[in-house]
Amino acid sequence: MASLADLRKDYTLHGLLEHEVASCPFDQFAKWFSDAVNAKVTEPNAMTLATATVHGAPSARIVLLKSFDERGFTFFTSYEGRKAGELAENPRAALVFYWPDLERQIRIEGEVQKVSKLESEEYFLSRPLGSRIGAWASKQSSVMKGREELEARWHEIEKRFAETIVPLPETWGGYRLWPNSMEFWQGRPSRMHDRILYERNGTFWGFKRLGP
Ligand SMILES: Cc1cc2nc3c(=O)[nH]c(=O)nc-3n(C[C@H](O)[C@H](O)[C@H](O)COP(=O)(O)O)c2cc1C
């Protein structure tokens, strides 16, 4: 096996120059996201979500981006798990997308808020039945006795809602991250990567180049 120290890749596919980037970072995100979809990247909407406690202890996990527009980036989760607890005490978070097939990374930082109950409900009711039951069955991030406990709860919920639609649980819904910065990283040969950082001042976005 090659040693870890020797594992590296030279990036040669694309560049990212000032004259090519959109003036609005949401347009730039839309372009890169559609490139990722067209390149058939595996789960292009999987992103790392980093949160932190009020004392600054960080944690990170993958969640799925479910929509984005000029209001921000939306994902859905339990309102009871670890990330929800950290967001309740410290609503600042960061997102990272990495699309190795395109040699691209996007970093997004900002403030997170719950979406409206109506928006959560609309999305929840669009999910497959099994996932809706799963959301009721899971007490996200709490310790369980074993897998049997989870499966027993799933069957209990399936029975409970056998005759009706599975409604949105009170403990589940969306969050939207409203960015104050978005950085687009394009791998280049010899570690001479392109990094374009957009920063928001009120509603105005400007961008600058960062050293790789
Ligand atoms: C590809 C992938 C997609 C995921 N999508 C979600 C998601 O959209 N929402 C979610 O709550 N957890 C999702 N998870 C699970 C989370 O990574 C995590 O295990 C869970 O949300 C509990 O995190 P927490 O304990 O920090 O709250 C996903 C995991 C993977 C690997």
Residue pLDDT, tens place only, 30-58: 999 999 999 999 999 999 999 999 999 99
How many angstroms is it from 15 CA to the middle of ligand 1? 32
Residue pLDDT, tens place only, 185-204: 999 999 999 999 999 999 99
Which of the listed residues 41, 62, 66, 141 should we mutate to test ligand 1's pocket, taking the one with most ligand atoms within 8 A of CB? 62
Q: What is the pLDDT of residue 2?
A: 80
Could you give the 3-state DSSP secondary structure of residue 117? helix
CATH 3.40.50.620 fits 9-126+170-209, yes or no: no
Q: What is the pLDDT of residue 95?
A: 99
d(CA 58, CA 96): 14
* pLDDT at position 1 over 90: no
Q: Identify whether the C-beta of residue 84 lies closer than 8 Å to the C-beta of residue 78.
A: yes
CA angle 81–65–83, rounded 5-degree value: 20
Residue pLDDT, tens place only, 77-126: 999 999 999 999 999 999 999 999 999 999 999 999 999 999 999 999 99
- Of all protein residues, whose CA lies closest to atom 28 belonging to ligand 1? 63
- Of all protein residues, whose CA lies closest to atom 3 belonging to ligand 1? 63
- Of all protein residues, whose CA lies closest to atom 10 belonging to ligand 1? 77
H or E stretch covering 82: helix 82-89
Residue pLDDT, tens place only, 150-192: 999 999 999 999 999 999 999 999 999 999 999 999 999 999 9
Q: What is the pLDDT of residue 111?
A: 98
Question: Is 62 close to ligand 1, i.e. is its CB under 6 Å away?
Answer: yes
User: What pairs with residue 179 in β-bridges?
Assistant: 110
Question: Is 141 close to ligand 1, i.e. is its CB under 6 Å away?
Answer: yes
- Count each helix (H run) and each strand (E run) in the chain, helices first: 5, 9
